[in-house]
Structure 1
Amino acid sequence: MGGPAAVSAGEVRSYEHLLDHRPWYKNTRLILLNFWIVILLVTSSTNGYDDGLQSLPQWQTAFNHPSGGALGLLGAIQNIGSLCSLPFAPYLADFMGRRSCIILGACLMVIGTVIQTASQSVHMFIGARWLIGFGLNFAATGAPMLISEIAYPSQRGQITSLYNSLWIFGSFIAAWTTFGTFHIATSWSWRIPSAIQGFPSVIQLIFIWFVPESPRWLMYKGREQEALDILAYYHAKGNAKDPLVEYEFQEVKTAIQLDREVASSVGWLTLFKTPGNRRRMRIIIAIAFFSQWSGNGLAVTLDLNRVLDAVGVTDPTIQLLINGVLQIYNFIICVFASMWCDKIGRRKLFIAATAGMLVTWVFETICFAVYSKTGHAAAGHAFIAMIYALAYSPLIVTYTVEILPYNLRSKGFTIFNFTISLSLIFNQYVNPIALQNIGWKYYLVYVAWLTFELAFICRYLVETKNRTLEETAAIFDGDDQVALISHKTASDGLERKDSDVRVDVDEKESI
């Protein structure tokens, strides 16, 4: 159960000498690949599209000012829908492929947004939100795995981190859409934001047919030539004999062969059977909870309007404006963390984010307490200024996907999504009640919890930067597993020296 020091080595990629170090934007195949990845990234935008309708008086009037349990259900129903699809999503992703999972999810979300936009009653609205959540989980299971499995090796960490950063982008679009429609007097003030939530899914349904399937999934299904063609086309301009393609192909093939040897015994309990898998799940479950239980459910997303009410900011226009500016700030910070995750490292970013949130939350608690006792507006304004985000949004998906071996990736990622849904539902039901009854003192709970988070991250989180998916997954199972994959890869004569020379198939194509 070793700590991070045990795996801090390996700062240089084992495949570094095989990479094309010229800028990706000078390679038309990588431009095309990254365009397909952008189509997959928009899944997260749909997930983050919290439309902020509760701040709109028109929405409140349309549904008779819901409160108590009804309001809690309206907030939680999308995540309840996600929970309902969790038992099915990993099997669809493994049986029919990552793309099929995304296609089904996008179809269900489009139908859900149409029903939500046309809602004539609160029950119709709740049903639509449930269907959106049900479909969302299929897409959110397939998309990040497909992104990590088709990305160019040197870009995988940054691009996969951008996946969850686009969650913030979805919140950004939702915040400014509701701000823009606020002054529409009719029900279109909330119907327009509802309709826009389905736009990313429509884009996906148009382009998903051209997105390459996961080479790892194809190889697992015995379609090795198709997998090799995809790797060659996008990673080496069509050259199947390129050293990097040969390295990737053989490494994935070897890892899958090893997985097949234990495939008959792989099930949900496998996630907890071995010491390595227990280490994985301990970290995955923890960061899933941490991503939602770090105070962000109160001060950043779902209950922001209630928190602003509590510190004296009750004007809906000001609330919507604060929400919009906050999402811009969060998006910038998350993109920065995504772009630097391979240079700074996952562990350092997690520690910096957790420590920053703890310090900020202490000051927020003080400001909230001062305002509650004195009513000084300055304390309320200072509270609003101290909202912090850095590593959790971009890195939680990246880290979860990359530490899981192929045969456990969909199941482990399902546990991750299940944990997030549970923690979100808890936030949506418990936070409003606790905030109403004990006010600023509820913030002390998060001070204690963030202290625990920081201790956990420092003790258990391991560094995974600059490794392939197979190497990253193997570090949890010990050096013997890494050595076995490396030995089998080397036995086929696919290891290359620094003097390897690339062979370009299409000499005319710009690289």
Structure 2
Amino acid sequence: MGGPAAISGGDAHGYAHLIDRSKPWWKNTRIIKLNLCIALLLITSTTNGYDGSMMNGLQSLPQWNDAFDHPGGGKASSVSSLVITAWPDSYVAAWPSQCNPAYPFSPYVSDGMGRRAAVILGAVIMCIATVLQTASHSVGMFIGARFLIGFGLTFAAAAAPVLITEIAYPTQRGPATSLYNTLWFLGSITAAWTTFGTFHIPTSWSWRIPSAIQALPSVLQVFLIWFIPESPRWLCSKGREEQAIRVLAYYHANGNRNDPLVEYEFEEIRAAIKFDREVASNVGWSSFVKTPGNRRRLRIMIAIAFFSQWSGNNLIAYYMNKIFDSIGITDPTTQLLINGCLNIYNFIIAIVAGLLCDKIGRRPLFIASTIGMFVFWVLQTACFALYSEKGNITAAHTFIAMIYDIAFTPLIVSYTVEILPFPLRAKGFTIFNFALSLSLIFNQYVNPIALQALGWKYYIVYVCWLAFEVCFIFRYLIETKNRTLEETAALFDGEDTAAHLAEHAAVNAGIADTRSDREKASSEDIIEEVKI
């Protein structure tokens, strides 16, 4: 089977000339069907976001506090540490030590049983756990249910964004995967307004109803996941190449196995998997520190994982009710209303940024986001100080408008997944999630204590840290827009991978007229970018 060059340089898609542009994608029934499948995977993040906002809302409900003996201080930290998320970029519920026992197993389930099987397993566990959470009659039962939710979510969240990335139509992969983390806000908005709506129910159903609704995305996945295709890359890695090409042909070319785009994708996938196994030996955990390319990946993944939690957002998200109290907004109804409005505001911003990731680029969005967060956090600090020191009510209310983020919500998942080569994708995403979990230890145990002890002065710590983030992103983040997953791998791994994939494409390609020049130019472009 032939196909064009497997490497592309510059800002042009290597597959751009292979895309059927005779009609827009929304008139292509197969792509619409594929996007509906992707939507079902996206709601894994919705479950995650619903939980984070639900817990934030429940802490403002007198009924929930009465049911669990008004958790405060150390007890509040213990309950919060078992919450699935602390911000839209976190996926993991954990022990109080943030060490989820599902971590070591999730990549092996995803790589061994398949991406789809991992999502199913996680969804089933979360359905069971949500029933227990809704029926909770003690703190111990509630915490146990929350741990089980996190255990299931670890499997589902480790596989869902990976599967989205590996099945999406080439020109839609970046925005589709970016929407994964963005859909956190859909769950967050639903939870915020649900808890706002049940606030006036005088019984325990004021918090049991929001808890029960949390199961809805998982229930949908359990019943509908069977219609989602398995990853062609996973199928190819298991020697099931015929199934892999059928999936590519059905969803990317209306069933035409001989479509040039299908040939291109299939040959590129097969070449990359073969190279990683036979040439680079890029398959085990130790591979992350063996090669310069993988060390670059590891450095960026860990950095953006910590940045996503250590930019002050966690302080806002999980202790928002305490911050509201600190700036004079003490009415529970007002707190819940502001929480709901802020989630809608952030949802809109995240969607716009995610959809623009291929037009603007990942690097400019990350740079704009970190600079913006630094500027707005400085303003937040000033507003908080004015209220604390001088009782300025206007400054206190202005503080609410200073919550800002562009890139970290939509891009940290999509960027992490796309920079990883196939054999390391599930393992690398697990490392990313584990780094997120480690970053939460500081947030969930130090933040409430430091905020109470230092007040607005604690915000200065985050001002300094955000300045460091700006420098790091500017120095180390590599632009990956307009590349396939295999091209991105070559961008990180340099000359050897680029040359190998170009050579493989040359052997298998059936388009001889312009192929050689394109391969040579593309390989040289990637090698030059890596040097830069």
Task: Check whether TM > 0.5.
Answer: yes
- Post-superposition CA distance 1:213-246 (Å, at most 9, x none): 0000000000000000000000000000000000
* Compared CA separation, residues 400 and 495, structure 1 to 2 (3 A): farther
* Compared CA separation, residues 496 and 128, structure 1 to 2 (3 A): farther
Give unmatched runs, 5+ long, in structure 1: 1-6, 500-511
- Post-superposition CA distance 1:414-461 (Å, at most 9, x none): 000001112223212211111111111110000000000000000000
Superposition deviation, residue 70 in structure 1: 1.6
Question: How many Å separate the matches in 1 of 2:245 and 2:82?
Answer: 42
* Compared CA separation, residues 434 and 173, structure 1 to 2 (3 A): same
Q: Is the CA contact 2:8–2:14 (under 8 Å) kept in the aligned structure 1? A: no
Counterpart selection for 1:277 from 294, 301, 304: 294
Superposition deviation, residue 156 in structure 1: 0.1
Question: How many Å separate the matches in 1 of 2:363 and 2:413?
Answer: 14
Compute the RMSD of aligned alpha carbons.
1.7
Superposition deviation, residue 172 in structure 1: 1.1
* Compared CA separation, residues 43 and 391, structure 1 to 2 (3 A): same
Pair 1:209-2:226 in alignment? yes
Question: How many Å separate the matches in 1 of 2:512 and 2:101?
Answer: 48
* Compared CA separation, residues 450 and 496, structure 1 to 2 (3 A): farther
* 1:28-427 superposed matches below 5 A: 28-49=29-50, 50=52, 51=54, 52=56, 53-78=58-83, 79-80=93-94, 83-261=100-278, 266-299=283-316, 301-427=317-443
* Compared CA separation, residues 496 and 213, structure 1 to 2 (3 A): farther
- Post-superposition CA distance 1:73-124 (Å, at most 9, x none): 1111142157221110001000000011001100111111100000000000
Superposition deviation, residue 479 in structure 1: 2.9
Superposition deviation, residue 337 in structure 1: 0.4
* Compared CA separation, residues 324 and 245, structure 1 to 2 (3 A): same
Pair 1:10-2:10 in alignment? yes
* Compared CA separation, residues 19 and 196, structure 1 to 2 (3 A): same
Superposition deviation, residue 260 in structure 1: 1.9
Q: Is the CA contact 2:8–2:483 (under 8 Å) kept in the aligned structure 1? A: no
Superposition deviation, residue 375 in structure 1: 1.4
* Compared CA separation, residues 62 and 140, structure 1 to 2 (3 A): same
Q: Is the CA contact 1:243–1:496 (under 8 Å) kept in the aligned structure 2? A: no
* Compared CA separation, residues 211 and 496, structure 1 to 2 (3 A): farther
Q: Is the CA contact 2:275–2:500 (under 8 Å) kept in the aligned structure 1? A: no
Whichever residue aligns with residue 178 of structure 2, its letter is: S
Superposition deviation, residue 267 in structure 1: 2.0
Q: How many residues align?
A: 492
Superposition deviation, residue 23 in structure 1: 1.3
Q: Is the CA contact 2:421–2:486 (under 8 Å) kept in the aligned structure 1? A: yes
Question: How many Å separate the matches in 2 of 1:36 and 1:9?
Answer: 30
| Partner secondary structure for residue 20 of structure 2 | coil
Q: Is the CA contact 1:17–1:498 (under 8 Å) kept in the aligned structure 2? A: no
Give unmatched runs, 5+ long, in structure 2: 1-6, 84-92, 516-532
Superposition deviation, residue 145 in structure 1: 0.5
- Post-superposition CA distance 1:34-91 (Å, at most 9, x none): 0000000000011112102111111001000011222111111142157221110001
| Partner secondary structure for residue 212 of structure 1 | coil
Whichever residue aligns with residue 295 of structure 1, its letter is: G
Question: How many Å separate the matches in 2 of 1:235 and 1:72?
Answer: 48
Q: Is the CA contact 1:247–1:495 (under 8 Å) kept in the aligned structure 2? A: no
| Partner secondary structure for residue 85 of structure 1 | coil
Question: How many Å separate the matches in 1 of 2:504 and 2:282?
Answer: 23
| Partner secondary structure for residue 182 of structure 1 | coil
Counterpart selection for 1:448 from 438, 461, 464: 464
Superposition deviation, residue 491 in structure 1: 1.0
* Compared CA separation, residues 329 and 496, structure 1 to 2 (3 A): farther
| Partner secondary structure for residue 161 of structure 2 | helix
* Compared CA separation, residues 8 and 420, structure 1 to 2 (3 A): farther
TM-score, normalisation: structure 2: 0.90
Q: Is the CA contact 2:327–2:388 (under 8 Å) kept in the aligned structure 1? A: yes
* Compared CA separation, residues 34 and 76, structure 1 to 2 (3 A): same
Question: How many Å separate the matches in 2 of 1:8 and 1:468?
Answer: 8
Structure 1 segments of 4 or more deviating over 3 A? 262-266, 494-499
